[in-house]
Amino acid sequence: MNGTSLPVVEVGPVAHGGSCVARLDGQVVFVRHSLPGERVRIRVTDTTKRFLRADAVEVLEASPDRVEPPCALAGTCGGCDFQHVDPAAQRRLLADVVAEQLRRLAGIERDVVVEEVRPTLGWRTRVTWSTTPDGRPGLRKHRTHEVVPVEHCPIAHPDLPDVTAHRWDSGPVEAIVSSTGQRLVVTDATVPSDLDVDGVAGTDGHRRAGGTRLTEHVAPHDFTVTGSGFWQVHPEAARTLVDAVLDAAEARPGDRVADLYAGVGLFTAFLADAVGPDGLVVSVEADRQGARDARRSLHGRSQVRLVADSTERALRREPALADGVDVVVLDPPRTGARKAVPGVAALGARRVVYVACDPAALARDVATFAEHGYRLGPLRAFALFPMTHHVECVAVLDRVD
Protein backbone atom coordinates (compact mmCIF):
# COMPACT_ATOMS: atom_id res chain seq x y z
CA MET A 1 0.00 0.00 0.00
CA ASN A 2 1.54 3.34 -1.01
CA GLY A 3 1.36 6.41 1.19
CA THR A 4 -1.43 8.16 -0.69
CA SER A 5 -3.73 5.15 -0.32
CA LEU A 6 -3.51 5.23 3.47
CA PRO A 7 -6.70 6.45 5.19
CA VAL A 8 -7.24 10.07 6.22
CA VAL A 9 -8.98 11.02 9.48
CA GLU A 10 -10.12 14.15 11.30
CA VAL A 11 -8.45 14.20 14.72
CA GLY A 12 -10.53 14.81 17.84
CA PRO A 13 -9.65 15.30 21.52
CA VAL A 14 -6.60 13.97 23.32
CA ALA A 15 -7.01 10.71 25.24
CA HIS A 16 -5.34 9.33 28.34
CA GLY A 17 -2.01 7.91 27.12
CA GLY A 18 -1.04 10.69 24.73
CA SER A 19 -2.88 9.65 21.58
CA CYS A 20 -5.79 11.60 20.08
CA VAL A 21 -9.18 10.15 19.22
CA ALA A 22 -10.42 9.84 15.64
CA ARG A 23 -12.88 7.62 13.77
CA LEU A 24 -12.29 5.45 10.77
CA ASP A 25 -15.36 3.89 9.17
CA GLY A 26 -17.18 4.38 12.46
CA GLN A 27 -14.50 2.72 14.57
CA VAL A 28 -12.53 4.54 17.26
CA VAL A 29 -8.86 5.10 16.39
CA PHE A 30 -6.20 6.29 18.85
CA VAL A 31 -3.72 8.27 16.74
CA ARG A 32 -0.20 8.99 17.98
CA HIS A 33 1.82 12.02 16.81
CA SER A 34 -1.35 13.99 16.07
CA LEU A 35 -3.14 16.98 17.60
CA PRO A 36 -6.81 17.87 18.08
CA GLY A 37 -8.26 19.56 15.01
CA GLU A 38 -5.73 18.16 12.56
CA ARG A 39 -6.41 16.22 9.40
CA VAL A 40 -3.86 13.45 9.03
CA ARG A 41 -3.05 10.37 7.04
CA ILE A 42 -2.63 7.36 9.30
CA ARG A 43 -1.07 3.91 9.33
CA VAL A 44 -2.92 1.42 11.52
CA THR A 45 -0.49 -0.31 13.89
CA ASP A 46 -2.80 -2.43 16.04
CA THR A 47 -6.34 -3.77 15.84
CA THR A 48 -8.57 -4.84 18.73
CA LYS A 49 -12.26 -5.67 18.94
CA ARG A 50 -13.06 -2.27 20.42
CA PHE A 51 -10.64 0.15 18.75
CA LEU A 52 -7.63 0.67 16.48
CA ARG A 53 -4.24 2.18 17.16
CA ALA A 54 -2.48 4.19 14.48
CA ASP A 55 0.39 6.57 13.78
CA ALA A 56 -0.03 9.84 11.92
CA VAL A 57 2.36 9.52 8.97
CA GLU A 58 1.41 12.70 7.09
CA VAL A 59 -0.16 15.93 8.33
CA LEU A 60 -2.53 17.39 5.76
CA GLU A 61 -3.93 20.17 7.95
CA ALA A 62 -1.75 21.08 10.93
CA SER A 63 -2.74 22.48 14.31
CA PRO A 64 -1.23 25.88 15.21
CA ASP A 65 0.20 24.08 18.26
CA ARG A 66 2.38 21.81 16.11
CA VAL A 67 6.13 22.60 16.21
CA GLU A 68 9.31 21.12 14.82
CA PRO A 69 10.37 18.37 17.24
CA PRO A 70 13.64 19.03 19.11
CA CYS A 71 14.58 15.35 18.64
CA ALA A 72 15.50 13.73 15.33
CA LEU A 73 13.97 10.45 16.54
CA ALA A 74 10.56 11.92 17.37
CA GLY A 75 7.92 9.56 16.05
CA THR A 76 10.37 6.66 15.94
CA CYS A 77 11.58 6.23 19.52
CA GLY A 78 8.84 5.38 22.00
CA GLY A 79 10.18 7.57 24.79
CA CYS A 80 8.20 10.76 24.12
CA ASP A 81 4.64 11.50 23.06
CA PHE A 82 4.58 15.27 22.54
CA GLN A 83 7.84 16.29 20.85
CA HIS A 84 5.69 17.74 18.05
CA VAL A 85 3.67 19.94 20.44
CA ASP A 86 4.42 23.43 21.72
CA PRO A 87 5.23 23.14 25.47
CA ALA A 88 2.34 25.39 26.54
CA ALA A 89 -0.02 23.31 24.40
CA GLN A 90 1.39 20.13 25.96
CA ARG A 91 0.22 21.39 29.34
CA ARG A 92 -3.23 22.18 27.97
CA LEU A 93 -3.47 18.64 26.60
CA LEU A 94 -2.47 17.21 29.97
CA ALA A 95 -5.05 19.41 31.68
CA ASP A 96 -7.73 18.15 29.29
CA VAL A 97 -6.84 14.56 30.16
CA VAL A 98 -7.02 15.14 33.92
CA ALA A 99 -10.34 16.96 33.58
CA GLU A 100 -11.78 14.26 31.32
CA GLN A 101 -10.81 11.47 33.71
CA LEU A 102 -12.36 13.29 36.67
CA ARG A 103 -15.54 13.85 34.69
CA ARG A 104 -15.79 10.32 33.33
CA LEU A 105 -14.68 8.28 36.35
CA ALA A 106 -15.63 10.49 39.31
CA GLY A 107 -18.50 12.57 37.92
CA ILE A 108 -16.63 15.77 38.82
CA GLU A 109 -16.48 18.85 36.58
CA ARG A 110 -13.24 20.68 37.26
CA ASP A 111 -11.18 23.24 35.37
CA VAL A 112 -7.59 21.99 35.52
CA VAL A 113 -4.40 23.96 35.00
CA VAL A 114 -1.12 22.07 34.58
CA GLU A 115 1.77 24.08 35.97
CA GLU A 116 5.07 24.36 34.10
CA VAL A 117 8.19 22.96 35.73
CA ARG A 118 11.46 23.84 34.02
CA PRO A 119 13.58 22.64 32.35
CA THR A 120 11.51 21.10 29.55
CA LEU A 121 14.61 19.51 27.97
CA GLY A 122 17.62 17.92 29.64
CA TRP A 123 15.59 16.99 32.71
CA ARG A 124 15.61 13.21 32.99
CA THR A 125 18.12 12.25 35.69
CA ARG A 126 17.51 8.50 35.36
CA VAL A 127 17.43 6.73 32.00
CA THR A 128 17.34 2.98 31.41
CA TRP A 129 18.81 2.10 28.03
CA SER A 130 18.12 -1.09 26.14
CA THR A 131 20.74 -2.37 23.68
CA THR A 132 20.61 -3.46 20.06
CA PRO A 133 22.04 -6.87 19.04
CA ASP A 134 25.33 -5.14 18.16
CA GLY A 135 25.53 -3.39 21.57
CA ARG A 136 24.34 0.12 20.79
CA PRO A 137 22.29 1.78 23.55
CA GLY A 138 18.81 2.87 22.60
CA LEU A 139 15.15 3.07 23.52
CA ARG A 140 12.31 0.84 22.43
CA LYS A 141 9.77 1.78 19.82
CA HIS A 142 6.27 2.35 21.13
CA ARG A 143 4.59 -0.94 22.13
CA THR A 144 7.38 -3.07 20.61
CA HIS A 145 10.62 -4.75 21.67
CA GLU A 146 12.54 -3.17 18.79
CA VAL A 147 15.38 -0.99 20.06
CA VAL A 148 16.07 2.33 18.31
CA PRO A 149 19.76 3.33 18.69
CA VAL A 150 20.12 6.74 20.36
CA GLU A 151 23.21 8.90 20.18
CA HIS A 152 21.69 11.92 21.90
CA CYS A 153 18.44 12.14 23.87
CA PRO A 154 17.24 15.75 24.30
CA ILE A 155 15.32 15.00 27.50
CA ALA A 156 18.25 13.19 29.18
CA HIS A 157 20.10 15.22 31.81
CA PRO A 158 23.44 16.48 30.43
CA ASP A 159 25.34 15.22 33.49
CA LEU A 160 24.28 11.58 33.14
CA PRO A 161 27.04 9.01 32.63
CA ASP A 162 27.83 8.97 28.91
CA VAL A 163 26.35 5.54 28.25
CA THR A 164 25.50 6.21 24.60
CA ALA A 165 29.15 6.75 23.65
CA HIS A 166 29.96 3.07 24.26
CA ARG A 167 28.98 -0.40 23.07
CA TRP A 168 27.61 -2.85 25.63
CA ASP A 169 27.69 -6.64 25.66
CA SER A 170 24.20 -6.80 27.20
CA GLY A 171 21.44 -4.64 28.53
CA PRO A 172 19.66 -2.99 30.16
CA VAL A 173 21.97 -0.18 31.31
CA GLU A 174 20.57 2.40 33.71
CA ALA A 175 22.36 5.74 33.99
CA ILE A 176 21.73 7.95 37.02
CA VAL A 177 22.91 11.36 38.19
CA SER A 178 21.85 12.57 41.63
CA SER A 179 21.04 16.12 42.70
CA THR A 180 24.42 16.17 44.45
CA GLY A 181 26.26 15.21 41.25
CA GLN A 182 26.93 11.52 41.92
CA ARG A 183 26.94 9.35 38.80
CA LEU A 184 25.93 5.69 38.90
CA VAL A 185 25.42 2.93 36.35
CA VAL A 186 23.23 -0.08 37.14
CA THR A 187 23.80 -3.02 34.82
CA ASP A 188 25.00 -6.60 34.55
CA ALA A 189 26.96 -5.73 31.40
CA THR A 190 30.71 -5.21 31.19
CA VAL A 191 31.33 -1.53 31.95
CA PRO A 192 33.90 0.28 29.78
CA SER A 193 36.98 1.20 31.78
CA ASP A 194 36.90 4.81 30.59
CA LEU A 195 33.27 5.47 31.57
CA ASP A 196 33.24 8.32 34.12
CA VAL A 197 31.10 7.11 37.04
CA ASP A 198 31.25 7.11 40.82
CA GLY A 199 29.82 3.62 41.15
CA VAL A 200 28.53 0.54 39.34
CA ALA A 201 25.80 -1.73 40.67
CA GLY A 202 24.33 -4.95 39.38
CA THR A 203 20.63 -5.11 38.62
CA ASP A 204 20.21 -6.98 41.91
CA GLY A 205 21.40 -3.81 43.66
CA HIS A 206 24.72 -5.24 44.82
CA ARG A 207 27.79 -3.07 44.41
CA ARG A 208 30.17 -3.97 41.61
CA ALA A 209 32.49 -0.97 41.87
CA GLY A 210 32.47 2.26 43.87
CA GLY A 211 29.32 2.93 45.86
CA THR A 212 25.66 2.24 45.13
CA ARG A 213 24.10 4.71 47.56
CA LEU A 214 23.30 8.12 46.19
CA THR A 215 22.57 11.25 48.18
CA GLU A 216 19.63 13.36 47.03
CA HIS A 217 19.28 16.81 48.56
CA VAL A 218 16.06 18.75 49.09
CA ALA A 219 16.94 21.60 51.43
CA PRO A 220 17.41 21.24 54.30
CA HIS A 221 17.29 17.42 54.14
CA ASP A 222 19.47 14.74 52.58
CA PHE A 223 18.06 11.39 51.47
CA THR A 224 19.77 8.07 50.75
CA VAL A 225 18.67 6.30 47.56
CA THR A 226 20.29 2.97 46.75
CA GLY A 227 20.86 2.11 43.10
CA SER A 228 17.63 1.93 41.12
CA GLY A 229 15.54 2.85 44.14
CA PHE A 230 12.65 5.25 43.49
CA TRP A 231 13.36 8.95 43.23
CA GLN A 232 11.66 11.58 41.09
CA VAL A 233 13.44 11.90 37.73
CA HIS A 234 12.93 15.62 37.08
CA PRO A 235 15.51 17.68 39.02
CA GLU A 236 12.81 20.07 40.29
CA ALA A 237 10.18 17.41 41.01
CA ALA A 238 11.05 16.63 44.63
CA ARG A 239 11.03 20.29 45.70
CA THR A 240 7.88 21.00 43.69
CA LEU A 241 5.97 18.11 45.22
CA VAL A 242 7.20 18.71 48.76
CA ASP A 243 5.99 22.31 48.61
CA ALA A 244 2.64 21.29 47.11
CA VAL A 245 2.09 18.51 49.67
CA LEU A 246 2.98 20.70 52.64
CA ASP A 247 0.67 23.47 51.42
CA ALA A 248 -2.13 20.95 50.89
CA ALA A 249 -1.68 19.00 54.13
CA GLU A 250 -1.65 21.99 56.48
CA ALA A 251 -0.18 19.74 59.16
CA ARG A 252 -0.02 21.38 62.59
CA PRO A 253 2.34 20.98 65.54
CA GLY A 254 1.28 17.92 67.51
CA ASP A 255 -0.64 16.31 64.62
CA ARG A 256 -0.58 12.61 63.87
CA VAL A 257 0.15 12.00 60.18
CA ALA A 258 0.24 8.85 58.06
CA ASP A 259 2.64 8.98 55.10
CA LEU A 260 1.67 5.99 52.96
CA TYR A 261 3.70 4.54 50.05
CA ALA A 262 6.42 6.72 51.56
CA GLY A 263 9.43 5.54 49.55
CA VAL A 264 12.70 6.74 51.02
CA GLY A 265 10.87 9.24 53.22
CA LEU A 266 10.81 12.41 51.12
CA PHE A 267 7.48 13.70 52.46
CA THR A 268 8.04 12.09 55.87
CA ALA A 269 11.02 14.33 56.64
CA PHE A 270 9.13 17.55 55.93
CA LEU A 271 5.93 16.38 57.62
CA ALA A 272 8.01 15.58 60.71
CA ASP A 273 9.24 19.18 60.68
CA ALA A 274 5.65 20.38 60.46
CA VAL A 275 4.26 18.28 63.35
CA GLY A 276 7.28 18.92 65.58
CA PRO A 277 8.52 16.83 68.51
CA ASP A 278 5.03 16.47 69.99
CA GLY A 279 3.56 15.02 66.80
CA LEU A 280 3.95 11.70 65.00
CA VAL A 281 4.49 10.67 61.40
CA VAL A 282 3.87 7.00 60.62
CA SER A 283 5.86 6.35 57.44
CA VAL A 284 4.87 3.17 55.57
CA GLU A 285 6.86 1.61 52.70
CA ALA A 286 6.65 -1.95 51.39
CA ASP A 287 9.83 -2.01 49.30
CA ARG A 288 12.59 -3.41 51.49
CA GLN A 289 15.38 -1.32 50.04
CA GLY A 290 13.28 1.83 50.13
CA ALA A 291 12.43 1.16 53.78
CA ARG A 292 16.13 0.63 54.61
CA ASP A 293 17.05 3.87 52.85
CA ALA A 294 14.34 5.72 54.79
CA ARG A 295 15.78 4.37 58.01
CA ARG A 296 19.24 5.65 57.07
CA SER A 297 17.84 9.10 56.33
CA LEU A 298 15.38 9.43 59.22
CA HIS A 299 16.77 7.34 62.04
CA GLY A 300 17.34 10.37 64.27
CA ARG A 301 13.77 11.70 64.13
CA SER A 302 11.99 10.74 67.36
CA GLN A 303 8.56 11.76 65.97
CA VAL A 304 8.86 9.35 63.02
CA ARG A 305 7.76 5.73 63.12
CA LEU A 306 9.03 3.77 60.12
CA VAL A 307 6.93 0.78 59.08
CA ALA A 308 8.36 -1.67 56.52
CA ASP A 309 5.11 -3.18 55.28
CA SER A 310 2.50 -2.77 52.59
CA THR A 311 0.05 0.06 53.08
CA GLU A 312 -2.89 -2.35 53.11
CA ARG A 313 -1.40 -4.51 55.88
CA ALA A 314 -0.22 -1.53 57.90
CA LEU A 315 -3.72 -0.05 57.85
CA ARG A 316 -5.01 -3.28 59.40
CA ARG A 317 -2.19 -4.12 61.78
CA GLU A 318 -0.01 -1.13 62.71
CA PRO A 319 -0.66 -0.14 66.36
CA ALA A 320 0.42 3.47 65.75
CA LEU A 321 -2.51 3.84 63.33
CA ALA A 322 -5.09 2.15 65.53
CA ASP A 323 -6.35 5.41 67.07
CA GLY A 324 -6.57 7.24 63.75
CA VAL A 325 -4.65 10.24 62.43
CA ASP A 326 -5.24 13.90 61.62
CA VAL A 327 -3.75 13.93 58.11
CA VAL A 328 -2.94 11.29 55.50
CA VAL A 329 -0.48 11.71 52.65
CA LEU A 330 -0.40 8.94 50.08
CA ASP A 331 1.72 8.59 46.94
CA PRO A 332 0.72 5.22 45.46
CA PRO A 333 2.15 3.57 42.34
CA ARG A 334 0.63 4.19 38.92
CA THR A 335 -2.10 1.63 39.58
CA GLY A 336 -3.46 3.76 42.40
CA ALA A 337 -4.70 2.87 45.89
CA ARG A 338 -7.97 1.05 45.19
CA LYS A 339 -7.52 -1.59 47.90
CA ALA A 340 -6.26 0.90 50.46
CA VAL A 341 -8.95 3.57 50.18
CA PRO A 342 -11.43 2.03 52.69
CA GLY A 343 -8.65 1.61 55.26
CA VAL A 344 -7.38 5.16 54.68
CA ALA A 345 -10.89 6.54 55.12
CA ALA A 346 -11.29 4.54 58.34
CA LEU A 347 -8.38 6.49 59.87
CA GLY A 348 -10.76 9.44 60.15
CA ALA A 349 -8.27 12.08 59.02
CA ARG A 350 -9.63 15.57 58.52
CA ARG A 351 -7.66 15.73 55.27
CA VAL A 352 -6.14 13.31 52.76
CA VAL A 353 -3.48 14.52 50.32
CA TYR A 354 -3.24 12.24 47.30
CA VAL A 355 -0.15 12.44 45.06
CA ALA A 356 -0.92 10.75 41.75
CA CYS A 357 1.09 9.99 38.64
CA ASP A 358 -1.91 8.58 36.76
CA PRO A 359 -5.06 10.70 36.34
CA ALA A 360 -7.29 7.69 35.68
CA ALA A 361 -6.25 5.98 38.92
CA LEU A 362 -6.66 9.28 40.78
CA ALA A 363 -10.16 9.85 39.43
CA ARG A 364 -11.23 6.29 40.22
CA ASP A 365 -9.91 6.56 43.78
CA VAL A 366 -11.48 10.01 44.27
CA ALA A 367 -14.84 8.41 43.43
CA THR A 368 -14.21 5.68 46.01
CA PHE A 369 -13.19 8.23 48.64
CA ALA A 370 -16.49 10.00 47.99
CA GLU A 371 -18.31 6.80 48.93
CA HIS A 372 -16.44 6.92 52.26
CA GLY A 373 -17.22 10.53 53.12
CA TYR A 374 -14.41 12.52 51.47
CA ARG A 375 -14.90 15.33 48.95
CA LEU A 376 -12.37 16.55 46.39
CA GLY A 377 -11.01 19.99 47.24
CA PRO A 378 -8.16 21.87 45.57
CA LEU A 379 -6.18 20.01 42.92
CA ARG A 380 -2.85 21.01 41.41
CA ALA A 381 -1.18 19.38 38.43
CA PHE A 382 2.43 19.61 37.29
CA ALA A 383 4.24 18.90 34.01
CA LEU A 384 7.05 16.94 35.65
CA PHE A 385 7.66 14.80 32.54
CA PRO A 386 7.87 17.30 29.65
CA MET A 387 7.43 15.92 26.12
CA THR A 388 5.49 12.92 27.49
CA HIS A 389 1.85 12.24 28.35
CA HIS A 390 2.62 11.79 32.05
CA VAL A 391 1.35 14.33 34.56
CA GLU A 392 1.63 14.53 38.34
CA CYS A 393 -1.31 15.67 40.48
CA VAL A 394 -1.65 16.66 44.13
CA ALA A 395 -5.26 16.44 45.24
CA VAL A 396 -6.89 17.43 48.53
CA LEU A 397 -9.70 15.27 49.91
CA ASP A 398 -11.51 16.70 52.91
CA ARG A 399 -13.76 14.75 55.26
CA VAL A 400 -17.38 15.77 55.00
CA ASP A 401 -18.79 16.13 58.51
pLDDT tens digits, residue range 217-228? Answer: 999 999 999 999
Domain ranges of the chain: 3-66, 126-219, 232-399
Residues 6+ apart with CB under 8 A from 351: 248, 249, 250, 326, 327, 328, 396, 397, 398, 399
Q: Rounded to whole angstroms, how far apart are CA atoms 101 and 136?
A: 39
Contact assessment for residue 249 and residue 329, using Cβ atoms and an 8 Å cutoff? yes
3 state SS for the chain: CCHHHCCEEECCCECCCCCEEEEECCEEEEEECCCCCCEEEEEEEEECCCCEEEEEEEEEECCCCECCCCCCCCCCCCCCCCCCECHHHHHHHHHHHHHHHHHHHHCCCCCCCEEECCCCCCCECEEEEEECCCCCEEEECCCCCCEEECCCCCCECCCCCCHHHCCCCCCCEEEEECCCCCEEEEECCCCCCCCCCCEEECCCCCEEEECCEEEEEECCEEEEEECCCCCCCCCCHHHHHHHHHHHHHCCCCCCEEEEECCCCCHHHHHHHHHHCCCCEEEEEECCHHHHHHHHHHHCCCCCEEEEECCHHHHHHHCHHHCCCCCEEEECCCCCCCCCCHHHHHHCCCCEEEEEECCHHHHHHHHHHHHHCCEEEEEEEEEECCCCCCCCEEEEEEEECC
> Does 77 qualify as catalytic in the annotation?
no
pLDDT on residue 2: 55
> What is the residue-level pLDDT of the chain in tens, covering all 401 positions?
456 689 999 999 999 999 999 999 999 999 999 999 999 999 999 999 999 999 999 999 999 999 999 999 998 999 999 999 999 999 999 999 999 999 999 999 999 999 999 999 999 999 999 999 999 999 999 989 999 999 999 999 999 999 999 999 999 999 999 999 999 999 999 999 999 999 999 998 889 999 999 999 999 999 999 999 999 999 999 999 999 999 999 999 999 999 999 999 999 999 999 999 999 999 999 999 999 999 999 998 999 999 999 999 999 999 999 999 999 999 999 999 999 999 999 999 999 999 999 999 999 999 999 999 999 999 999 999 999 999 999 999 999 98
pLDDT on residue 1: 46
Q: What CATH number does the domain located at 3-66 have?
A: 2.40.50.140
Q: What CATH number does the domain located at 232-399 have?
A: 3.40.50.150
Q: Rounded to whole angstroms, how far apart are CA atoms 227 and 206?
A: 8
pLDDT on residue 334: 97
pTM, 2 dp: 0.96
Phi, psi angles (nearest 5°) of residue 369: -60, -35
Contact assessment for residue 391 and residue 381, using Cβ atoms and an 8 Å cutoff? yes
Contact assessment for residue 327 and residue 247, using Cβ atoms and an 8 Å cutoff? no
Query: Any known ligand binding at 354?
Result: no
Query: Any known ligand binding at 83?
Result: no
pLDDT on residue 4: 67
Phi, psi angles (nearest 5°) of residue 219: -50, 135
Q: Considering only CA atoms, which of 173, 131, 167 is closest in space to residue 148?
A: 131
Strands 126-131 and 392-399, by their bridges, are: unpaired
Query: Any known ligand binding at 182?
Result: no
Strands 392-399 and 374-383, by their bridges, are: antiparallel
**Catalytic residue selected from 20, 71, 153, 357:** 357
pLDDT tens digits, residue range 286-322? Answer: 999 999 999 999 998 999 999 999 999 999 999 999 9
